[in-house]
Amino acid sequence: MDTETALSALAALSHESRLAAFRELVQAGPEGLSVGELRERLDLPPATLTAHLNGLRTAELVQDQREGRVIRVRANYPQMNALIAYLTENCCAGATNCGPNSVCIPSTNGGQT
Amino acid sequence: MDTETALSALAALSHESRLAAFRELVQAGPEGLSVGELRERLDLPPATLTAHLNGLRTAELVQDQREGRVIRVRANYPQMNALIAYLTENCCAGATNCGPNSVCIPSTNGGQT
DNA sequence: TCGATAATTCCAGAATTATGGAATTAATGC
DNA sequence: GCATTAATTCCATAATTCTGGAATTATCGA
């Protein structure tokens, strides 16, 4: 993932409603949710939800598929994963001991504190 | 890390100049950089850089320390790591096979597609 | 075709964030 | 005290993002 794409994804997730929407979609699993279900859970006016969904769509963090009158939205897990990979690389500057479960130390000092 | 803190960190990183500043600090390692060095590298007016640094400070993604007339800024690696952990949990909904080097699939379907 | 439902786009006002010059604070050396 | 350097805050303008009502598009069933 390049920096421009990462910025787009970070911007998409940096708003309360959009992060909440994305979390709902992740919890919903591969089935995703219809826009209507999402709207009920988040309790947002239709136009507002669409605007936020468009932010997530631009960042390619979600994908959708029309099913009749309903549009089903799914979290794009690989894209989210790519964002985490980007942040991990930028957090650790290439150190190998880095990740969510380790303390993040740059490689330039061999991991000492 | 709670959602409010994550939102603050995501917002801080979702701007070109701030992400660039943070990357410079990560690459600089534990020594960090003075505000002046950062200013030269990013080529920003002083007031603009300060405004962006304040965003990173509020999110506790950087910490600083005055050394005489100079203020030294360092990346706060644990905070960045906590953000990555938060995103990993929210990306994967608790699945164990998740991380920057694996495909991110929620746990609700056992990893099948 | 018509009516109902789902979701979107359009658009304008409100709110927030970004930008950077000028003034200010902080520290140092003479 | 005074000049110098480093960085900040102050403040006003510019730019962007957010919000949501109203109109529009898309699909379906009768």
- Tell me the residues of chain A between 45 and 84 that have a Cβ less than 8 Å away from chain B: 75, 77-78, 80-81, 83-84
Q: Kindly tell me the burial class for residue A59, based on how many C-beta atoms sit within 10 Å of its own C-beta (0-12, 13-18, 19 or more).
A: buried
User: Distance, in angstroms, between B70 CA and closest chain A CA?
Assistant: 23
Tokens representing B112 are: 């099948």
Q: Is residue B90 very low, low, confident or very high in pLDDT (cuts 50, 70, 90)? A: confident
Helical residues (DSSP H) of chain B, grouped into ranges: 3-13, 16-28, 35-42, 46-58, 77-92
Average pLDDT, chain A: 85
Is residue A105 over pLDDT 60? no
Asked whether residue B45's C-beta has any atom of DNA/RNA strand C within 7 A, the reply is: yes
Q: Which of B27, B51, B57 is nearest to B39 (CA)?
A: B51
Q: Is residue A113 very low, low, confident or very high in pLDDT (cuts 50, 70, 90)? A: very low
Of the CA atoms within 13 Å of residue B15, those in its CB half-sphere come to 15
Q: Does B97 touch chain A (CB under 8 A)?
A: no
What's the pLDDT at B91?
66
What's the pLDDT at B92?
57
What's the pLDDT at B101?
43
Is residue B24 over pLDDT 90? yes
Q: What does the pLDDT look like over B41-60, one tens digit per residue?
A: 999 999 999 999 999 999 99
| Residue pointed to by tokens 């608790």 | B94
To 5 degrees, how large is the angle CA A95–CA B16–CA B21? 50
What's the pLDDT at A90?
80
Element (H, E) at B33: strand B33-34
Asked whether residue A51's C-beta has any atom of DNA/RNA strand C within 7 A, the reply is: yes
- CB-CB contact of B72 with B33 (8 Å): yes
Q: What does the pLDDT look like over A21-49, one tens digit per residue?
A: 999 999 999 999 999 999 999 999 999 99
Q: Is residue B75 very low, low, confident or very high in pLDDT (cuts 50, 70, 90)? A: very high
Distance CA B92, CA B105 (A): 6
What's the pLDDT at A92?
57
Distance CA B32, CA B24 (A): 9
Q: What does the pLDDT look like over A44-94, one tens digit per residue?
A: 999 999 999 999 999 999 999 999 999 999 999 999 999 999 999 886 554
- A96 vs A9, B15, B46, B77, B113, CA distance in Å? 24, 27, 35, 14, 30
Range of the domain at A102: 3-109
Element (H, E) at A72: strand A70-75
- CB-CB contact of A15 with A52 (8 Å): yes
Task: Domain count for chain A, please give it.
Answer: 1
Residue B96's CATH number: 1.10.10.10
